[in-house]
Amino acid sequence: MTVPLRAALYLRVSTARQAEHDVSIPDQKRQGEAYCASRGYQLIETYVEPGASATNDRRPEFQRMIEAGTSKPAPFDIVIVHSFSRFFRDHFELEFYVRRLAKNGVRLISITQEIGDDPMHVMMRQIMALFDEYQSKENAKHVLRALKENARQGFWNGSLPPIGYRVVAAKQRGAKIKKKLEIDPLHADTIRLIYRLALEGDGTSGPMGVKNIAAYLNQRRIFTRDGGRWGIGQVHRILTRTTYVGRHEFNKRGKSKALKPASEIVTVAVPPLIDQATFDAVQAHLRARNPKVTPARVVSGPTSLPASASAPPVAAP
């Protein structure tokens, strides 16, 4: 009696939007289970990756599957995906992981792109992976272009807003609702307090550094937006973010977190929480405390005031 091949299903979509317009997780699962049943495969495990890009391997379920597939003995003989693009959209990484699995006797099978293991079929898989990678990069370019245009028109692109702001509906275009930022009264005073502490202190000492500001907030149980404690990095980002003077910078950094050229950054006008003079004075204090730290780039506005310059007081919460 022939022992059935043991199969693992890997299901993935990039975003909730893709789940609506592409092959959803339930649909991939249904097709994968039907594929196994029609070929007599024994389905061992299903790995589900909702909301993860296939352009890199930073995917928990993907790594869990690879770890299982490369262990000895492997718990399954084949990995089944809807298409190779569900597994990877980078041709080099696709081949790397296919070969890692193959060394342990585990094959990758695509339901919609069935190919063999001979040299010609391997070449076909590599060509398909190249097209998937090209399509992924083209799609990313088009999405970014649309997001930049949306930002140029003054609309918010859907990410979590900076603390002190909230997202509100601004305009409806067809089925889409365009959104903008407005000041969040629940946290606006916390932002103003942070700037006041940096510029004037708490009344018992002079201007405070980011470490002391974080300690001050935590000691007085003034929590972050999600109810957590303040960290030095969070406070520093608030004190150097031009969003708070009414200029939010979209597309400032790429995936590598490297700063993009000024020509690629879109500045979106938002309601200011802090006046320009206060912001500039705080940047001067930050530079004086740590000359190696470069505060936020000021696109426009007055030249930074010297550290000793006075600035309009900011109302305490």
Report the catalytic residues.
14
Q: Which residue has the tokens 């990484």?
A: 93
Query: How far is it, in rounded angstroms, from Cα 113 to Cα 126?
Result: 12
Cβ–Cβ < 8 Å for 314, 195: yes
Task: Compute how many other C-beta atoms are within 10 angstroms of the C-beta atom of residue 272.
Answer: 15
Query: At CB < 8 A and 24+ separation, what contacts does 255-263 make?
Result: 262/297, 262/299
Query: How far is it, in rounded angstroms, from Cα 286 to Cα 197?
Result: 12
Task: Compute how many other C-beta atoms are within 10 angstroms of the C-beta atom of residue 204.
Answer: 5
Q: How far is CA 186 from the centre of its chain?
A: 25
Edge-to-edge strand order for the sheet containing 107-110?
42-50, 6-13, 78-81, 107-110
Cis bond leading into 73, ω under 30°? yes
Which residues, 6+ apart, have CB-to-CB distance to 17 below 8 Å? none
Query: How far is it, in rounded angstroms, from Cα 20 to Cα 175?
Result: 15
CA angle 14, 16, 18 (to 5 degrees): 60
HSE value, Cβ hemisphere, 13 Å, CA-based, for 195: 30
**Which DSSP string do the residues of 168-219 spell out, in sequence order?**
EEEEEETTEEEEEEEE-TTTHHHHHHHHHHHHH-SSSSS---HHHHHHHHHH
Pairing of strands 165-173, 78-81: unpaired
Radius of gyration (Cα) for the chain, nearest Å?
A: 26
